[in-house]
Amino acid sequence: MVSRRGLLAGAAGSAILGAGLGAYGLVVEPRLRLRVQAYALSPAGWPGGVRLRIAALADIHAGLPYMPLARVRQIVEATNALAPDLVVLLGDYASSDRFPFTRIPWDETVPLFRGLDAPLGVYGILGNHEFWDDPSAQRRRGDTLAHDAFRRSRVPLLENDAVRLQARGGPVWLLGLGDQLAFRLGRARYIGRDDLPGTLAKVTDDAPAILLAHEPDIFPKVPGRIALTLAGHTHGGQVRLFGHSPVVPSHYGNRYAYGHVVEDGRHLIVSGGLGTVAAGLVPVRFGVPPEIVVVDIWGE
C-alpha cells in the first residue's frame, strides 16, 4: 500500500514535472530555441545543371514577449549565415493575440527583411494575419497595411505573380500565391485572394518552377509542372509528439501539418514557422522548435 507520504511525494513530483514542461513549452522552446531544418531534393524534371539553395522564413508573428525585434534580427543574421541563393518569406509577420502580447507594427518588422542577403533576392507573400488583423482591409476586401509596409521597404511581394530568376546553371521561376483565407465571411467561411490558374499562366517557358503559398491546403490543386511548393501557416501544430500534431489549422489535418510531403511525384515542404499564436489557448511550442527552413535543390 502506498503511504500518505508517498502519495504526497508523487503529487509533488507530478506538479514539478508539469511546471517544468509548462515552462519549457512557454519559454524555452518558443523563445530560446532556433533550429535550421534542412531538406535536400532532386524533383523529377529538374535540369541537371541547375542548383539552388532556398532559405524560407514563415510565421514570424512579431510581438512581445515572444518575438521582439531583436529576435527577428537574430533570425535574419542566422539566415544570412546559411549563404542561401534565395530567401523567401511565407507570410504572417505580426501577431494580434490577446494572450499577453504587444503587437509590433508591420512598419517596424518588414524593414528588417532588407537585411537579408541573397544573390537572387528576397521575395515575400502575405498570410492570413496580414488580412485578418487589418479591419479596414476586411471591410474593403482590399489591400492591407502590410502591402504598404512592403512597398515602402522595397521588399518585393508576389501576390498571384511570378518572377524568372537566373540560378546557378539556368533559369528558375518563382511564383507567389495570394492568401487563401484573406477575408472572413463568418465561422469557417472565407474569400481568398488566391488565383492559382492566373499565377501559373505567368510562366512562359519550361524552366523549373517553385510556388510559395502561405496555407498548404492548396497543394492537391498544384500541378506537376511545379517542382516544389513551400508553405507555412500550420506552425507544425505548435505541439507535435511522435510525428503527430493534435491540432492543425488545415482541412487535411496531419496530412500537411509539417515537413516534406511527396504526393504523385510532387513535393511540398511545410515549415514549422518561427513565432507562436494562441488561437484561444496558451501560445506554447512543444516538439516544434522555431525553425529556419533551408532547401537544397539540384537535378540528376
pTM of the model: 0.90
What architecture is the 33-298 domain classified under in CATH?
A: 4-Layer Sandwich (3.60)
Which amino acid, one-letter code, is at 69?
Answer: L
Q: Where do the structural domains in the chain lie, given as residue ranges?
A: 33-298
Beta strands 183-186; 189-191: pairing state = antiparallel
DSSP code of 241?
Answer: B
pLDDT for residue 282: 64
Name residues whose C-beta falls within 8 Å of residue 118's C-beta, 6 or more positions apart in sequence.
55, 84, 85, 86, 87
DSSP string, 141-202: TS--HHHHHHHHHTPPB-SSEEEEEEEBTEEEEEEEPPPTT-EEEETTEEE----HHHHHTT
Contact 83, 293 (CB under 8 A): no
Written as tens digits, the pLDDT of the chain (300 aa) is 444 343 333 333 333 333 344 455 566 666 667 999 999 999 999 999 999 999 999 999 998 888 999 999 999 999 999 999 999 999 999 876 666 567 888 899 999 999 999 999 999 999 999 999 999 999 999 999 999 999 999 999 999 999 999 999 999 999 999 999 999 998 889 999 999 999 999 999 999 999 999 999 999 999 999 999 999 999 999 999 888 999 899 999 999 999 999 999 999 999 999 998 875 456 788 889 999 999 999 987
> What is the rounded distance in angstroms from the CA atom of residue 148 to the CA atom of residue 150?
5
**Residue 150 burial (CB < 10 Å; 0-12/13-18/19+)?**
buried
3-state secondary structure string across 17-84 = HHHHHHHHHHHHHHHHCCEEEEEEECCCCCCCCCEEEEEEECCCCEEECCECHHHHHHHHHHHHCCCC
Closest by CA position to 105, among listed 81, 74, 72, 83? 72
Residue 84 main-chain phi, psi, to 5 deg? -75, 155
Peptide bond just before 65 cis, omega within 30 deg:
yes
Residue 186, burial from CB neighbour count under 10 angstroms (0-12, 13-18, 19+): exposed
Q: Which residue has the cell 490558374?
A: 197
- C-alpha–C-alpha distance, residues 98 and 231, integer Å: 25
